[in-house]
Copies of this chain bind each other. A is one copy, B any other.
Amino acid sequence: MVLSGMQRAVRWHPPAYDIRVEDVPIPQIVEPDDAILAGLCGSDLHIYRGHEDVHDVLVCGHEMVGEVVALGSNFHPKAAGRPPLYSTLKLGDKVVSPFTISCGECHFCRIGFTCRCVHSCLFGIPTLPGGQAQYARIPKAGGTLFSISALPISSPNNADLSQLADCSLLLLADILPTGVFAALQALQHPKLSPMLTRSAYPSSGFIPESLIVGAGSESAALQHKDRQLTLAIVGLGPVGVCAAVSLLDMLAGLESKEGINYRVVAIDPVESRRKKMEAIYTIISKKETSSSRKFSVSSIEDGKRIIGDWTDDVGCNAVLEVVGNPSALTLAYELVRPFGLISSVGVHQEPAMPFTGRELYDKNVSFDFGRCPVRAMFPTALDILLKRQDIFGDVGGEANLVEKVVGLDEAAESYELFDKGKCGKILFNPWK
């Protein structure tokens, strides 16, 4: 298939809030590791608002799902020196693209920190056009693209992945894996280990037990009530909702396997976002009963009060920060208990960290910052996507994350509505 000529694309113009649909050349294979994708793409506010210090026109969009329509020469079966990921991708494959390039073969890719690949680059910047166009060029496509058609992992629950709607698969490009990452960072942290392992800090975790002598042997025994987890999510935008769904799924697993009791407060000042979260929780709670779970969707002030009430003012074991500004971090600090964790996946900008050194020392607080390594989270995110098709499988319902799918002509209006909180997440179908 030879692609040539022009295509329609959503382009952002600096300095901010200026979206135009324009004709641009159809992208071509440039490097032998490239693929060309035809598909659809999610909306993205970071660039739109001019927060990213970008000064050139660009094709928007960092979340893509679609079909492979062209492949570079390195995908030829006889191409030498390419890792296995480059031999499994085929023309016609249904694929999901994470929002950054990852080669699949550097040290960072090998160890699973795929978003910090040495070739990492965000889609939707001037030098790497995004997905809000009919076609997009995907560099290092063997490492970057997930092929749903040829999934190298076994399909969870033997689900028929080919039946998954594009609007559902698109959630795997960023927001669901990022939600999984936020939840996983919290539950995996050694400071939550006493609650999970039933033994006092320090447990050994990833290091051999023999490196830690007699851990916890002197303390009074852990009591059942010590094993109660209290968590908060700050920010209920689309990623925050995915973080809440992922966290609830993992906590349900910890309850059934480990006898953990848990309580979660999901906090956002915007009522429409709280209503979405409540509609989603209604679905979850109907299907999944729990003897211990408490869940509250709250405004900021109510959230503080509830956590205070639940914990005798001790605070949360962990707070998932899914906003990306100093006031969200300040709230997270206020909500977290001594020796608690703040799992921050919000995309933070230039403002300084709003903490004194003494505040951090005095609370023994831990932080995990940064971008989700989407590929590393993909298997777990796919599992949750399949389990929760009642939420993630459709568009436009009160419990669905994606509000609507529109053609490119509606791009400018859609961005404005999304930015102003007047609609939820929107997908662009450039073929509509």
Residues of B within 8 A of A358 (CB): 348-350
Q: Is the CB of A112 within 8 A of B213?
A: no
Residues of B within 8 A of A379 (CB): 212-215, 217-218
Q: Is the CB of B213 within 8 A of A383?
A: yes
* Known contacts A202-B377, A348-B357, A153 near B218 by CB under 8 Å: yes
- Min CB distance A416 to B, Å, is 26
Across the A-B interface, give the 4 residue pairs with the lowest CB-CB distance, nearest first.
Answer: A348-B357, A364-B370, A112-B201, A112-B200
* Known contacts A193-B206, A195-B111, A203-B206, A361 near B369 by CB under 8 Å: yes
Chain A, residues 104-118, CB within 8 Å of chain B (1/0): the string is 110111111111100
Give the contact-size bracket for chain A.
35 or more
Q: Is the CB of B375 within 8 A of A218?
A: yes
* Known contacts A226-B110, A339-B116, A370-B361, A211 near B376 by CB under 8 Å: no
> A249-266: which residues lie under 8 A (CB-CB) from chain B?
250, 253-254, 257-258
Q: Is the CB of A190 within 8 A of B214?
A: no
28 interchain pairs, CB-CB under 8 A? A109-B219, A111-B226, A112-B202, A112-B215, A112-B216, A113-B201, A113-B339, A116-B338, A187-B211, A188-B190, A189-B190, A193-B206, A196-B206, A208-B253, A210-B257, A211-B250, A216-B376, A218-B379, A324-B361, A339-B370, A347-B361, A349-B357, A352-B355, A353-B355, A353-B356, A360-B367, A362-B371, A365-B370
Q: Is the CB of B376 within 8 A of A215?
A: yes
Residues of B within 8 A of A184 (CB): 202, 212
Query: Quick one: which of A208, A219, A355, A356 has the most chain B CB within 10 A?
Result: A219
Q: Counting CB contacts under 8 A, is A134 at the interface? A: no
Q: Counting CB contacts under 8 A, is A25 at the interface? A: no
